[in-house]
Amino acid sequence: FPGILSNPKLVLVQRSLNVVMNQNVTLSCCSASGSPPVRYTLFKHSQQVSSLNRSDSTPALFTLTISSASDVGPYKCKAEHNTSSDGKYSNSLHFTLIEPISKPVLSSPTSHTTKGQNVTLSCFAENGSLPITYMFFKDKQSISPPKMMHEREAAVIFLFVNSSADSGTYKCKANNSFPNSVKYSRSFDFTLAEERSHSQALIISLGLILLLLVIGFALAIPFFIIPSYKASE
């Protein structure tokens, strides 16, 4: 008489539960106790996927291909003796389908700035599985710690423009759990408007005053200088 089966254990062989499209995965189902032979049946959403008979205590291995979002599960397996109608069910497994990240976009409300101004940089990847980690760079040097975003929103940093050196080339990168998923944005450059010095402002003011004097003198000639000249003749 066959020994009583324990609830089987369903585990993933080797790889992570994070999967990519068209990836092959192998599930192992096995009862720790119970006399063989044992029939193992794999289910997805309560629908039978496959069955295997084992005449010894070795696990039943089920190989699947994750070809669509509906293939992520949940999965369960059932162990039963051929002589018994009562089967035992395993724990459930659910895969997470991860998508590659799209090229992030680096942007700012303005591309023109002056010394002493605060500016905002935002980096956003439209597609890709969450969470997404962003980093900002200036001339290939990191200027911020990694920012992990768990929502579909941009990562933002604030910069204080203190000198012309702050108007260099900026980039950002984004990556997620998809293998080799690092993507870089296009470069972004600020144009730094040089502030006029006090001496430049003084020269411009003096020039305007001189111009007004010349115009005033030219306007005064017909009314004052020419009549007085004629009266002296």
Q: Residue 163: what pLDDT?
A: 79
Divide the 233 residues of the chain into consecutive groups of 10 and give the mean pLDDT of each group: 82 88 93 89 94 92 91 94 80 92 93 83 94 94 94 94 82 92 92 57 71 74 61 57
Measured CA distances, 2 to 53, 80, 83, 87, 135 (Å): 15, 10, 8, 13, 60
Sketch the domain layout of the chain as residue ranges.
8-97, 105-192
**CA atoms within 13 A of residue 76's CA, in its CB half-sphere:** 12
Intrachain domains 8-97 and 105-192 with the same fold: yes
Q: Residue 197: what pLDDT?
A: 42
Q: Residue 21: what pLDDT?
A: 87
Q: Which of 19, 179, 154, 188 is closest to 101 using CA atoms?
A: 179
Measured CA distances, 158 to 104, 114, 181, 189 (Å): 18, 15, 26, 15
CATH 2.60.40.10 is right for the domain spanning 8-97: yes
Q: Residue 233: what pLDDT?
A: 58
CATH code linked to domain 105-192: 2.60.40.10
